[in-house]
Structure 1
Amino acid sequence: MAEVENALMGNGPIIKAKDVRVFYGEKQALQDVSIDFAKNQVTSLIGPSGCGKSTFLRCINRMNDLVDIARVEGEILIENHDIYAKDVDVVALRAHVGMVFQKPNPFPKSIYDNVAYGPRIHGTSQSKDELDHIVETSLKRAGLWNEVSDRLDQPGNGLSGGQQQRLCIARTIAIEPKVLLMDEPCSALDPIATAIVEELIDELSERFTIIIVTHSMQQAARVSQKTAFFHLGNLVEHGDTDQIFTNPKDERTENYITGRIG
């Protein structure tokens, strides 16, 4: 994985997907998806339920490997290194490509230990002082430090839903991934917590490449520079968010945005 780590420092698209196909047993869930992702941009994946957007997201950190009947074909490159090559260490890959899930899932540990978990496992901190700094920095980046700094030893699952999701973001970014995947990260949150996370996404994009699956077109319009529309397992259209929402090239995209399909 040193090659991936070195390559991530280069220029050009950080991710290139070419002709990606996903099968669950005999059923094909994704059909020949090809798309590039630029560094430090937010890209939203939109489309009706079951259209393949989350399936594609999970290809990027090989989460589909955990599904026995799943099979992935095609090519996904992180700076020209094939992440499906036989010599790829999947654990190391997921350190570079972090993921935040739909439902907040803090570990049954203290707030401190939730954030410290990754740096401990991956050996990225050499001392307690360094670990303290990583935890504080990550919580600050996740917009949570001021709310929890005086109770770091309390359980992470005792926080509110929105705070738990920000804790999960802090946990994910503590190991400094280059790519941050978010699978409907606000769908379980109230409007105020959603607004906080959306503002956070904008701030985090200065450091991370973010790909977010969202069921909310309004959210996609607010947080992303690029948008990709999926329908029935196909990537229908991909481009600047403003263009996708105001002047889509494909009739299916227009029908989805205007509510004629969904």
Structure 2
Amino acid sequence: MQASVQTALSPQAGAVSGGLPKVTARNVNLWYGEKQALYGIDLDIPAQQVTALIGPSGCGKSTFLRCLNRMNDTIQGCRVEGDIRLDGDDVYAPHIDVVHLRARVGMVFQRPNPFPKSIYENVAYGPRIHGLASSKTEMDQIVQTSLERAGLWKEVSDRLHQPGTGLSGGQQQRLCIARAVAVSPEVILMDEPCSALDPIATAKVEELIDELRENYTIVIVTHSMQQAARVSQRTAFFHLGKLVETGSTDDIFTNPVDKRTQDYITGRIG
């Protein structure tokens, strides 16, 4: 196989407008070794909205989420087929630089995972490795802006050089969100970001998600249908590795087309 020069996805290539989707997935199939986990997923993810992926445990929603920024590449024996595009660019094209892709498509995980560094360094890490700041003043501004966008600046501005691991669970999760937005992503993936948080911290993160969608496209996996109803504009229901139904959140929760969706929402399956 010839070595190819990796390039970043061009934000301008195939730029969407007029309400066209930010991310498109067509006939996405995935295997872990011999076991197939996703079957023919077709999904459009609109820009600057929150799309919630719901469904029973093990239904494929987190697996699909990780396809969008190629996190599944890190799993041995995982194989993905199909077409996933960001602004029209094939994210699985051989020349794509995965590091740049993950800067454009950031991720927040289920459990807060701050680096064992200071609050400042947690946020500055990404911009530093991507060369986004040419001076300390610029880096200071990126850190402050990112913490403000994550709703955390007022709580930590006087202790930026203390360990990020010393924050509460909810603050740590918002620090991880600040770390994600610091590299100016276009899409933020959130894999059950509130499942390890108490109700007060959950409410703060949900409020933050609603604010962030003004500037970012957000895809959230959640086990909580109440959370999906509160934070999302679009909902996709997964079951047994298949996308059963997708539509506006109001329609999915009040007038689902498929009986399996109805059964999940009413608690008959799950």
Give TM-score, length-normalised by structure 2: 0.96
Query: What is the rounded CA distance, in whole Å, between the counterparts of 2:9 and 2:120 in structure 1?
Result: 31
Is 2:187 the counterpart of 1:179? yes
Task: Name the SS of the counterpart of 1:215 in structure 2.
Answer: coil
Query: What is the rounded CA distance, in whole Å, between the counterparts of 2:43 and 2:15 in structure 1?
Result: 20
User: CA offset at residue 80 of structure 1?
Assistant: 1.3
Query: What is the rounded CA distance, in whole Å, between the counterparts of 1:51 and 1:231 in structure 2?
Result: 5
Task: Name the SS of the counterpart of 2:10 in structure 1.
Answer: helix
Greater shift, 225-234 or 3-12, is seen at 3-12
Partner of 1:5: 11
Q: Deviations over 1:29-78 (max 9, x none)?
A: 00000011111000000000000000000000000000011000000011
Is 2:26 the counterpart of 1:18? yes
Partner of 2:76: 68
Is 2:246 the counterpart of 1:245? no
User: CA offset at residue 125 of structure 1?
Assistant: 0.7
Report the CA distance shift for 1:93/1:3 in structure 2 as closer, same or farther (over 3 A): closer
Query: What is the rounded CA distance, in whole Å, between the counterparts of 2:71 and 2:9 in structure 1?
Result: 21
Task: Return the letter of the residue paired with 1:156.
Answer: G
Percent of aligned positions that are identical? 70
Misfit runs of 4+, over 6 Å: none
Query: What is the rounded CA distance, in whole Å, between the counterparts of 2:238 and 2:217 in structure 1?
Result: 20
CA RMSD of aligned residues (A): 0.9
User: CA offset at residue 3 of structure 1?
Assistant: 4.5
Partner of 1:225: 233
CA contact (8 A) 2:14 2:88 kept: no
Query: What is the rounded CA distance, in whole Å, between the counterparts of 2:148 and 2:133 in structure 1?
Result: 18
Is 2:115 the counterpart of 1:112? no
Which of 97, 101, 117 is matched with 1:89 structurally?
A: 97
Is 2:69 the counterpart of 1:56? no
User: CA offset at residue 2 of structure 1?
Assistant: 4.7
Query: What is the rounded CA distance, in whole Å, between the counterparts of 2:247 and 2:161 in structure 1?
Result: 45
CA contact (8 A) 2:11 2:87 kept: no
User: CA offset at residue 79 of structure 1?
Assistant: 1.4
User: CA offset at residue 255 of structure 1?
Assistant: 0.2
Q: Deviations over 1:116-175 (max 9, x none)?
A: 000000001111000000000000000000000000000000000000000000000000
Task: Name the SS of the counterpart of 2:246 in structure 1.
Answer: strand
Partner of 2:4: none
Query: What is the rounded CA distance, in whole Å, between the counterparts of 1:55 and 1:243 in structure 2?
Result: 25
Report the CA distance shift for 1:67/1:134 in structure 2 as closer, same or farther (over 3 A): same
Which of 106, 125, 133 is matched with 1:98 structurally?
A: 106
Partner of 2:51: 43
Partner of 2:85: 77
Residue correspondence of structure 1 range 155-234 to structure 2 within 5 A: 155-234=163-242
Task: Name the SS of the counterpart of 1:45 in structure 2.
Answer: strand
CA contact (8 A) 1:106 1:168 kept: yes
Query: What is the rounded CA distance, in whole Å, between the counterparts of 1:53 and 1:235 in structure 2?
Result: 9
Query: What is the rounded CA distance, in whole Å, between the counterparts of 1:8 and 1:124 in structure 2?
Result: 24
Query: What is the rounded CA distance, in whole Å, between the counterparts of 2:130 and 2:37 in structure 1?
Result: 33
User: CA offset at residue 10 of structure 1?
Assistant: 3.6
CA contact (8 A) 1:7 1:78 kept: no
Give TM-score, length-normalised by structure 1: 0.99
CA contact (8 A) 2:146 2:182 kept: yes
